[in-house]
Amino acid sequence: MIEIFYKSKGRILSSADMVFLNELGFDDVLWIDLFEPTGEEKRSVEEFLETTLQSRAQAEEIESSSRYSETDTTIFANTNFLIPGPDEYSMETVSFIISEGILVTIRQVPLRTFTDMQRRICMSSKLYPTGYHILVAILESRIDLDADMIELMSKEIAQFSKRVSVGENVNEEFLLDINQLQENTMLVRENVIDKQRMISAILKSDKFPRDVHVKLNVLIKDISSLLNHTNFSFERLEYLQNTVLGLINLDQNKIMKVLTFVSLMFMPPTLISGIFGMNLGLPIFNSKWDFLFVVGIMLVSVLVASIVFKRRKMF
């Protein structure tokens, strides 16, 4: 699917017809958004810009030279966009190509950032005179969404802490939920660092207009604060995880303590029953009261053992 944004009579309009590119010039087109593009759509854009678009495999490479590179006329940049799910987050690589001031984006999944940007660009055409400005606006919107996700995760962490504080039963599922939240926090941090690398590379470029550098510097500061926030969230999760493990260990120790106490309580009766169960002549008169006599000794031994344990605060 292709969406072409172009200038017309002081306004920014859009078209989903790739044939429309043949009627436009470089000065008219601002942004070409390729969503799950077909081979024909990619070839049409390549012929229009007289350049080669990156493949999906090239966009997903992690080397710095693959994440951001420049030629005499074209800028290639790749970055990950975080997609929140019901339980876990996933990363989707998005490619940005700027040639002759025209921005080309290539993505494989629907993204809220692009949907919002498409609406904003048609409403405020004066704010986006070139593809460079559109790229910076997309990064601004994306970083704002990342900040929202970090805030939501902070609220989740606070809820977990509250559950532990009120003495809610913690189990294996609770511990797995904390672990998943740690994984999501690391993904968010990785995603934010990826944006930081891309913006740092843009600031070093002499192709971007000087008026966008102020916004880029502000974005760098925002990213630094987000990284500090993710570090704090991860430390808080580690502390919470250690607390939960400590509570689980305490519960296990209580169980072992009860088992040990029961074992010690029944050691004297076991010894007595073993002695009186031997086929030997014992200094006990043979009468019908023998059984009750042995049981009485057992009960007395249990009572004595329990008194000793309580006085020594062993239970």
Average pLDDT rounded to a whole number, residues 275-297: 61
Q: What is the pLDDT of residues 247-258, one digit of tens each?
A: 777 777 777 877
Q: What is the pLDDT of residue 283?
A: 54
Maximum mean pLDDT: which of 198-202, 258-262, 263-267, 307-311? 198-202
Task: For 99-134, write each residue's pLDDT tens digit.
Answer: 878 888 888 888 888 888 888 887 777 787 888 888
In the chain, % of residues over pLDDT 90: 0
User: 124 or 315: whose pLDDT is higher?
Assistant: 124
The answer to whether residue 62 scores a pLDDT higher than 60 is no
pLDDT value of position 174: 75
Q: Indicate the average pLDDT of the chain.
A: 77
Q: What is the pLDDT of residue 306?
A: 75
pTM of the predicted structure, to 2 decimals: 0.72
Q: What is the pLDDT of residues 72-99, one digit of tens each?
A: 888 888 888 888 776 677 788 888 888 8
280 falls in which pLDDT band (50, 70, 90)?
Answer: very low
Which one of 20-24, 75-79, 171-175 scores highest in mean pLDDT?
Answer: 75-79
pLDDT at 278: 57
Tokens for 299, please give them.
Answer: 């009960």
Token digits of residue 117: 């940007």
**Is 312 a residue whose pLDDT tops 70?**
no
More confident residue, 294 or 238: 238
pLDDT(200) > 80: yes
